[in-house]
């Protein structure tokens, strides 16, 4: 009986301490559409999800990213190492999830929709003022 109770108790303790992957918070951000070729089809990725999967708290972090289309299909994914000056900025400044998304977008040369619209508006205003 003691063995059965011990096994049940250990099972409960393990399940309480195990990480639930559904509760891992991803930082999502809408992005300017990016054309992705995957499995013989062209996709328009318009959302990026970023999760920090490793951080040694000294000199390096690894970010996992997913680019998704409008229906939520993952069209591209990968890992990015963050080292050097970028890691110092990432680790020293607040709001790590936002910083991780911004670094990933910088490395992938992707813009947010809002940034793209601001650039287009600025260009249109400059064009109107020169005419």
How far apart CA 46 and CA 124 sit, in angstroms, is 23
Residue of 33, 36, 48, 34 lying closest to 105 (CA atoms): 48
Residue 11 forms part of a structural domain: no
Q: How many separate domains does the chain show?
A: 1
Give the pLDDT of the chain (131 residues) as one tens digit per residue: 555 444 444 444 433 333 444 444 455 667 878 888 898 999 999 899 999 999 999 999 999 999 999 899 999 999 999 999 999 999 998 888 889 999 999 999 887 666 666 677 777 888 777 66
Residue 5 forms part of a structural domain: no
Residue 10 forms part of a structural domain: no
Residue 7 forms part of a structural domain: no
How far apart CA 17 and CA 95 sit, in angstroms, is 26
Residue 4 forms part of a structural domain: no
Domain interval for residue 56: 26-124
Residue 16 forms part of a structural domain: no
Residue 119 forms part of a structural domain: yes
């Amino acid at each position: 009986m003691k063995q059965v109770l011990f096994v049940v108790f250990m099972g409960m303790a393990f399940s309480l301490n195990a990480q639930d992957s559904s509760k891992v918070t991803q930082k999502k951000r809408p992005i300017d559409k990016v054309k992705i070729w995957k499995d013989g089809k062209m996709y328009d990725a318009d959302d990026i999800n970023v999760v920090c999967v490793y951080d040694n708290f000294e000199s390096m972090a690894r970010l996992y990213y997913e680019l998704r289309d409008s229906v939520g299909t993952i069209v591209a994914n990968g890992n990015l190492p963050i080292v050097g000056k970028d890691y110092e900025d990432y680790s020293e400044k607040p709001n790590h999830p936002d910083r991780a998304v911004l670094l990933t977008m910088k490395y992938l040369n992707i813009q947010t929709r809002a940034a793209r619209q601001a650039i287009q508006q600025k260009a249109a205003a400059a064009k109107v003022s020169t005419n």
